[in-house]
Each structure stands twice: as C-alpha cells, then as structure tokens.
Amino acid sequence: MRYLIPEVVVAGGALLALLAIVLVPKAKSLGSWIVLLALLAAGIDAATMWHVTASLFMSNTLAIDQYSILVTELVLLAGVSSLLLAWDADRFGDEFPVLLALSVLGMMALGAAANLMVIFIGIELLSLPLYILAASSRTQAGGEAALKYLLLGAFSSGILLFGMALLYGATSTLSFVAYPSITSANTWLLWPGLALVLVGISFKLAIVPFHMWVPDVYEGSPTPVTNLMAFGTKVGAAVILLRLLAFGFYTQDGSWGTLIGYLAVLTMIVGNLLALPQMSLKRLLGYSGIGHAGFLLVGIATHSVEGAEAMMFYLLPYGLAVMAVFGVLRLIEGNGDEVTVGDLKGMAYRRPWLAAVLIVGMLSFAGIPLTGGFVGKFFLLQAALFASQPGLAVGIVVGTLVGLFAYLRPLQTMFQRTEPSEKVQKVRWTVASVVVLTVAVVGTIGLGVYPEPFVHIVSHSADFYWLTGG
Amino acid sequence: MLWIVLLGIPLVGAFFVLSVKDSAAKTTAAVVAALEVLAFVAFLVGPKPTLDLNWISTWGIRFHLSADGLALFLLGLTAVMTLVAILASKPEYGRTYFFWILFMEFASMGLFGAVDLFLFYVFWEVVLIPVFFLLTGWSGVKGRVAALKWLIMNLFGSLFMLIGVVAVAVIYQENTGHFSFEISHLTHLAIAPAAQPWIFGCFALAFAIKAPLWPFHGWMPDAYGESPAPVTALVAGVLSKFGVFGFLRVMLPIFAPEMARYETGLLIWVAAGLVYGAFMAVRQKDMKMVTAYASLSHLSMIALGIFSLTAAGILGATFLMVAHGLMVGGLFLILGVVEEKVGHRQFSGLMGLNQGAPRLATYFMFFALAVLGLPGLPGFAGEYMIIQGLVVHEVVFAVIAGVIMVLAAWYMLRLFQGIMQGRPDAPAVADLSRGQVAWLIPVALLVVLIGVWPAGITSHAVPSLFHAVHFVAEQGGIN
C-alpha cells in the first residue's frame, strides 16, 4: 500500500482540517495550513516514488505508474494554487480548504483509475465539493452558477453511469484495462456504452457541444474555485479520457480516433470563436479553456505515443497559464468576483509587474515562443503530423489564430493611456498570490526556454500503451 | 562566447532599462545599443565563432547560431539601426518603449544568426511581440488596429510555417530515423510529390507576409503609417529583411529543387509586386506611404534577385538587403522629423521646407537619391547585380526591373519636390538640431561607404553564396 500514501495523506489532511475547524473555531487559517501541508507532503511523497514499476493494485482497480504520479503532481499544483489564491479571504468560509482537498483527491483517483467504478467515484468526488465551492462566495451569481453546475453535473453523471452499465453488460467486467483481451463482447452494448461514457467525460472536460455550462459557472464561481475547475478538473477529465481509450479501447482506434479528431477541431475552433466577444474576463477564460480542451483532444485523437506525450505536456503549460491569469484576476477583483476587460485599462503603466504576468500568461495561452504554451502546440503539431493527420494540424493553427484575438484584446486594453480603473489602483499584493504568480511565470518561461526535462518526464509518463491487461 | 555577448547585451540590457527611471531610459538604452555595435565590430574584425549547444535533445533541436556572409552584415544592420532608432526616439516614451526596442534587437540578432530551423522559428515569432506592443502603446490613433493587423497577419503566416517546420522535421525523421532541425541537414529531403507544394507554400506564405511581398502586405500601410518614426525605421529597415532572408536561409537549402521548378511562377509573382509597389508609391499623398510602397517595391526587387537563382542575382539581393535597411531606415527617420515639424504627413501642396531647413533638405535629398538608385550609392549597385543575374536567362524580368528603376526616380523626386521645394514665401521651420545631425551622419556615411565599396560586403557573402548556388545547380536546377 506504499503507493497510496499520497491519497491517504490528502484524505487525512482533509479530515484533520475538518476536525480543526470544529475543535478550534478561532484559529481561522489552521484548516488552510493543514490542507496546504498535506498537499505539499503528498506531492513530495508522490515524487519519491517516480521510479515505480507500472502495475495494477487493489484487485486491478488502480494503476500506479508514472502517468498517475504525474497527474497527482499536476492536480496537487492546481489544488495548492487555488488554496493560496483564496488564502487571505475569509468570505469563502472555513470549509473551503476541506472541500478543496476532497476535490483534489477525486482528481488524483482519476489519474490512477483502472476500473470504471473508480472513474465514477473519482468524478463524483471531484464534482461534489466543487458544486459547494462554486457557491462559496455566497452571492446570487455564485448560487446560480452552483445550481447550474449541479444540475448539469448530475445529468452528465447519470449519462456516464448508464454508459458504464452498458459497458459492463457488454463485457461482464468493470475493469476496463481487461477490455482488449475480451473478444466476445456484445458490440450492440459496447459502442453505445462507450459513446455515453465519452459524453459523460466530455461534459467534465467541456468539449463542444457539451460546453454550455462553462462560461456561467466560471463567471459565477469565486476565482480560486474557477482556477481549480480550469486547471484541476481539466487535468482529471483529460487524463481519464486518455487512459480509458488508450488502455481499454486501443485495439479499436479506428472507431473513436476519427470521432475524437472531429470533436477536437470543432472544440478548438468553436471555443476560441466564442471567446472573442466576451467582456467578462472569466467568461473569456472559460471559452478559452474550452478551446484548450480541444487542443488536449488532438493528442488523444492521434492515437499514438507522441500524441499521449503531447497531451500530457500540454497540461502543465496550460495549467501554469491558468494560474498566472487567475492569479492576476484575483488581485484585481479585490472583494468582488467580476473583472471585465475594461477594468484592465492603463494597467501596463500603473501596475507594470502585474501587467507583465498577464502578458506572459496570455502569450502562453496563445502559444507564442519562449512560453510553455508554444512548446505544447509544437508537440501537438508534431504528433498530428507523425500520425499523418494534417487536418488536425490545420485545426490547431486555425484555433490558435482565432484564440489570438481573444487573448490580445485584454493585453491591448492594458496599454490604453487612460486613468487606471479603481480596481487596478487598489491592487494590493499578498504573499500567497506572489508565490502563485512567481511559480506560474517562472514555470511558463522555464518550459518555453528549456522544455527538455519536462519532455523527458512526459516521455516516461505516457509510455503505457503496451501495458495491457493486469 | 561572442554569440552569448551579442545576444546577451540587448536581452540583459532590455531588462536593465526596465529597472531604471523613465528619465534615464533613453540614455541607458543608447549605451546598451552602442555596446552592441561595438560587440558586432569585434565580431566583424575578429574570428567568427559559432555557438552550438544542445537544447531539446529529444527532438534533436540545437541552439545553433552562426554568421556566414549572408547574415553577417544583417547583424550589423540590426545593431546600427537599433542604435540610431534609439537616438532618434523621444525620451518621454519611457522605459517600457526602450525595453521593447532592445528586446526586438535581441530577437532580430538571434534570427539572423540561427541555423537551426526550430531556433529560427522561435526568433521569427518572438520578434512579432515587441512590434505588437510598440504599435499598441506608442503609435497614432489607429495604432491598436495596426497592431492587431500586424500580429494576426504575421502569425497567420507563421503558424503555417510552423506546420512546415514540423513537417520537414517529421519527413527527416522518417527518412533517417532520428530528429534534426539543423538547416544544413534538412537538404536532400525525400518529400512526397503530393506534399511538396503544400510544405513549400507554408514557408513561402510566412516569408511573403513578413517581408511583405504583394499581395500579402495588408498590415503594412497601417503599421508603417501609425508607428512612431524610429519603430517604422526598424520595421521597414530591419524586420522586413526577415522575409527575404528566410527565402535565402531556409528555402534555398531545403527546397532547392522546388525553387528551381517553380522559378517562373515565383518571378512573375514578385515582378507583379515590384510594379504594384512602384505605381502605388507614385500615387500616394501621404509621405510615409510613398516610402512604404517604395520599400515594398524594393523588397520585391530583392526577392527577384533571389528567385533568379543565379550567383549575381542572389549576391545583389544580399547586398541590397543591407543597403535597403540603411536607406529606407534613414528615410523614415527623416520623414519622422518632417512630420514632427509640420504636424501632418500629407504633401499635396508644395511645402517648401528647404527655405528654412537646408540641412534637413540636404539629408532628405541624399536618402531619396540613395533609394532611387543613383549610381555611386548602394541602391544602384544592388539593383545592377540583380538585373545582371536576371539577364542571364530571364531577360523579360530584367527589363521590368529596369523600367521600375525609372519609376523609382519619379516617386522619390515627387516626394522631395512636394516636401522640400515650393513657394519662396513658405513658412520657415526650424532646421535639424545638432543631435539629429549626429545620428543621421553615421547612417549617411555608411550608405556612402557601401555605395562606393560594395565589395566590402559582397566579398564576405560570395563564399556562402557559391555554396548555395552550387547546391541549386547540383539539384538539377539551373545553369
């Protein structure tokens, strides 16, 4: 059970924090400290078991390999950044760190899932705390967002579960890693089942046409929670989609590869296109997150080791850019929840460092060289062309170009020579946000200037195509 | 080591400028740019080392910089023009402005030195960012639109080029079993016939947009018109060379057979741009636009020289790239001074500025004559070599180029007359200040120098060039 320690530490941290809130109600930030330490400890522990031999545990329900470890590190990064972004605000409530840790635990489970039931548990564990967190600002918009998220989330969970039931009916097992060896599956149940599971995961990943909930939920939720949704949820949903298709259905790639390819192109273009007219920065980022989900799908659609590596690589620069941009938003919004593009006026002259962070984040989203986003796009293009799918490559280019307009508009607004908005003038740096922004900027530029180490890491983590069965 | 200095000075200097006060920014930036010129001089007179480091070894990407005869003087052009542009800038632009100028210098130096295709692409795209922010923050009323047009159009080309870059590398990997982005390795690729025009087109599109070559110049009028004169001088003088340099550096080695096969089509295309640019220049009423379209026409002339695929033509193109940078850059800087003095850019009426500003008129005349190709000045030498290259086996295009040289005299003299000559009673304006003369003189002297001594540049370029042309011939192309 050595390999479950990170999960246990996070779960234990959440429970301990819950106790602390009840027993020592006066120590406001005690819960946050406990969760922060638990997340960091889990991260360190996960890192020490990097050289694990990939294998299945607990009656073939969990797969512990470099893939799951990398996912653990990514979602812990998402969790820590969200926690730090919410650090000084009392208004999110004492239970904030507890729920956050549980949600992160769900994401970690998704990284290691080798069984349909674990997928479902992971997705529910990820989502349920987020439904509550979405409303934690206790505003009307937050309530609306939470309700919308809850209803659509429950709906998609139902579809997911139904699909899993069909898959079980077709194969008589929930262990999807065993599917390739089953030759007598009932295809009348198998394909509808897989389709429904894909729909369920697509909701979480926000793939067009299952993306409708994203902008409203992103806009209404508090910024730290949005950060967790944009980074952590996307990581969790993307990696489980890849794991499910690559482990369970790799022998039938012809049936889903093309479909995922079309969805990828559609998502890249539509997501970025819808980001164009947005005035609220969070909505803009919501749509851009949809577009980025499309880029992630490209890696899956190529159905190759390069594609899997490229997708795993893309997650980190994407997440770091999310941290940078939401970190800046968090500083600008103060005690509100809403930042529009117009609020950025004059920021480049009044708050040059904050503007610099936003520039780095946005340029990484846009995939400009010297940022991690560029290397990610390059990696994906390479995977697409190696798989002889120039259509996907053109899709990446078109999606990037459309998205560019959306990312450039806030940057241009920052350079307007007008009196800065009140929000920009009142910005107050906090230690926690400086940590988040520093990690995000250094990481983004580091990945752009010297990506070799991380390329090396993902090349190990995605080396699982030939691990099948148990 | 010298490469680290060449790239390090502008990069570190840029961030240093960002940390000083706004009032000291211009001086600091000028010192940094002057150091860079010194570093280039050291590079020019001393040995020319290369820098070759492992970068992303998984994909065979190397941080490989080298200056052959083609790139050497473009590096010098970048260093000199950046210094002059900084001296010509207003101190009140502030430190961020000078940061972006120096950052642009860093990216330009890197681009001209890169011999690894990935590295080339990185600098190619990075250089877009400083111009975007300079246009956004420090230009005229339509600056934001101009900035968007600049970035979107250029990235449109660049991203297709990225597909091309990756495609070339993938083909290389499939041919040989390992990765490399080294341009000299990527020759002799076995590209599937069906893919050839597409990959070729991906590169050509990016280069044509950046130059710009007709009909991909949509961003040019706004960007040249709206940006402050020093930025226009850098974009027209230095950045416009990227496109034509790309044809030389990237396409000639990698796509030599395709270049030879499509030669006639390419020549017709750029000849059309040559004629278009010249006629547009003749009918402009805005003085910056005259120069902008003149520049477009000259860039087509350079491309004509490259596509002639002869030693003389390519040599002329290499030479004209450097000369054009100095001449057009200088002319845009002078137009900036004129605009500042009269407050607008129209020259429909005879403005008669030479009454009160004889020095201004003299320098203006000098640069105008250089651009129109007066013998003795470098424009003539470059165009002569290009026409010589074309005469060998593409006489029609040689004739077109010759005719357009006459048109150049028309639009340049029209510009000069409109601004400088006219009524004796025209209101007098102040002449050039000593400071302005101080930065104009070095540019003028350099123009004269390479005009009377083209061999200074061509003798360096010839060895690299014969290699390139020989290669084309060996590929079953021409001659």
B121 and A352 within 8 Å at the Cβ level: the answer is no
Whether A68 is covered by a domain: the verdict is: yes
Whether A469 is covered by a domain: the verdict is: no
Whether A256 is covered by a domain: the verdict is: yes
CA dihedral A59, A60, A61, A63 (to 10 degrees): 140
pLDDT digits 0-9 by tens, A59-92: 888 888 888 999 999 999 999 999 999 887 777 7
Can you tell me the mean pLDDT for A221-238? 92
Reduced to 3 states (helix: H, G, I; strand: E, B; else coil), residue A86 is coil
Least CB–CB distance from B155: residue in A401, A417, A459? A401
CA distance, residue B330 to nearest chain A CA (Å): 28
- Sequence-distant (6+) residues with CB within 8 A of B437 are B359, B363
pLDDT digits 0-9 by tens, A32-54: 899 999 999 999 999 998 888 77
**The pLDDT value given to residue A468:** 42
Q: For residue B76, give both structure tokens.
A: 């010098």
Hey, CA dihedral for B236, B311, B446, B378, is it positive or negative? negative
The residue whose two tokens read 């000075």 is: B9
Q: What percentage of chain B exceeds 90 in pLDDT?
A: 27
Can you tell me the mean pLDDT for A210-234? 90
Nearest to A362 by CA among A419, A411, A397, A315: A411
A408 and B151 within 8 Å at the Cβ level: the answer is yes
Alpha carbon of A38 to those of A34, A103, A113: distances in Å? 6, 14, 22
| H or E element that contains B65 | strand B61-65
A397 and B121 within 8 Å at the Cβ level: the answer is no
- Give the up-direction half-sphere exposure of residue A1: CA atoms within 13 A in the CB hemisphere: 4
Is residue A189 a contact partner of residue A167, using CB atoms and an 8 Å limit?
A: yes
Q: For residue B194, give both structure tokens.
A: 């069906």
Q: For residue A285, give both structure tokens.
A: 């980022």
Is residue B75 a contact partner of residue B67, using CB atoms and an 8 Å limit?
A: yes
Question: Which residue has better confidence, A84 or B350?
Answer: A84
Across chain B, how many H-helices and E-strands are there?
A: 21, 2
Q: For residue A37, what are the domain limits?
A: 2-461
- Give the up-direction half-sphere exposure of residue A261: CA atoms within 13 A in the CB hemisphere: 21
Rounded to 5°, angle at Cα A42 from A36 and A46? 150
DSSP-assigned letters across all residues of A272-312: HHHHTT--BHHHHHHHHHHHHHHHHHHHHHTTSHHHHHHHH
Can you tell me the mean pLDDT for B114-129? 92
d(CA A146, CA A153): 10
Write down the mean pLDDT value for chain B.
86
**The pLDDT value given to residue A116:** 92
CA distance, residue A237 to nearest chain B CA (Å): 28
Q: pTM (2 decimals)?
A: 0.92
Is residue B307 a contact partner of residue B215, using CB atoms and an 8 Å limit?
A: no
Kindly give the pairing relationship between strand A62-64 and strand A55-57. antiparallel
Least CB–CB distance from B152: residue in A370, A385, A401? A401
Residue ranges in B422-454 assigned as alpha helix (H): 434-452
Least CB–CB distance from B129: residue in A368, A385, A394? A368
Nearest to B260 by CA among B478, B34, B410: B478
Whether residue B424 is predicted with pLDDT greater than 80 in this model: the reply is no
The residue whose two tokens read 């900035």 is: B147
Strands (E), B275-416: none
Whether A442 is covered by a domain: the verdict is: yes
Nearest to A126 by CA among A229, A7, A8: A229
Is residue A383 a contact partner of residue A312, using CB atoms and an 8 Å limit?
A: no
Task: Give me the residues paired with residue B56 across strands.
Answer: B61
A394 and B163 within 8 Å at the Cβ level: the answer is yes
Least CB–CB distance from A397: residue in B55, B56, B160? B160
Which own/partner contact pairs does A180-183 have at CB distance under 8 Å and 24+ positions apart? A180/A247, A180/A248, A180/A249, A180/A250, A180/A251, A180/A468, A180/A469, A181/A468, A181/A469
pLDDT digits 0-9 by tens, A324-341: 999 999 888 877 768 888
d(CA B144, CA B222): 10
Strands (E), A345-433: none
Chain A residues with CB under 8 Å of B58 CB are 452, 455-456, 459
A459 and B137 within 8 Å at the Cβ level: the answer is no
pLDDT digits 0-9 by tens, B64-110: 888 887 888 899 999 999 999 999 888 888 888 899 999 999 999 99
Is residue B256 a contact partner of residue B187, using CB atoms and an 8 Å limit?
A: yes
The residue whose two tokens read 């003038």 is: A425
Q: What percentage of chain A exceeds 70 in pLDDT?
A: 97
A408 and B132 within 8 Å at the Cβ level: the answer is yes
Compute the 3-state secondary structure of chain B and give helix, strand, coil in percent, each to the nearest 5. Answer: 75, 5, 20
Chain A residues with CB under 8 Å of B122 CB are 369-370, 374
- Sequence-distant (6+) residues with CB within 8 A of B354 are B360, B361, B420, B421
CA distance, residue A384 to nearest chain B CA (Å): 10
The residue whose two tokens read 């910089």 is: B65
Chain B residues with CB under 8 Å of A388 CB are none
DSSP-assigned letters across all residues of B256-298: HHHHHHTHHHHHHHHHHHHHHHHHHHHT--BHHHHHHHHHHHH
Least CB–CB distance from B166: residue in A378, A401, A415? A378
Band of residue A232 on the pLDDT scale cut at 50, 70, 90: very high
Whether A466 is covered by a domain: the verdict is: no
Query: Peptide bond preceding B212: is omega within 30 degrees of 0, i.e. cis?
Result: yes
pLDDT digits 0-9 by tens, B373-384: 888 888 888 888
- Closest-CA residue of A relative to B199 is A390
Band of residue B347 on the pLDDT scale cut at 50, 70, 90: confident
Chain A residues with CB under 8 Å of B129 CB are 363, 368
Interface of B with A (CB under 8 A): 55-59, 96, 121-123, 125-126, 128-129, 132-133, 136-137, 144, 147-148, 151-152, 155-156, 159-160, 162-163, 166-167, 169-170, 173, 198
Q: How many domains does chain A have?
A: 1
d(CA A10, CA B60): 40
d(CA A46, CA A84): 21
pLDDT digits 0-9 by tens, B427-473: 777 788 888 888 888 889 999 888 888 888 888 777 777 666 666 66
d(CA B12, CA B30): 14
- Closest-CA residue of A relative to B119 is A369
pLDDT digits 0-9 by tens, B146-160: 888 899 899 999 999
Task: Give me the residues paired with residue B51 across strands.
Answer: B65
Is residue B56 a contact partner of residue A452, using CB atoms and an 8 Å limit?
A: yes
**The pLDDT value given to residue B70:** 81
Is residue B64 a contact partner of residue B114, using CB atoms and an 8 Å limit?
A: yes
Whether A397 is covered by a domain: the verdict is: yes
B162 and A397 within 8 Å at the Cβ level: the answer is yes
**The pLDDT value given to residue B475:** 54
Q: For residue A57, give both structure tokens.
A: 């545990």
CA distance, residue A401 to nearest chain B CA (Å): 7
**The pLDDT value given to residue A177:** 83
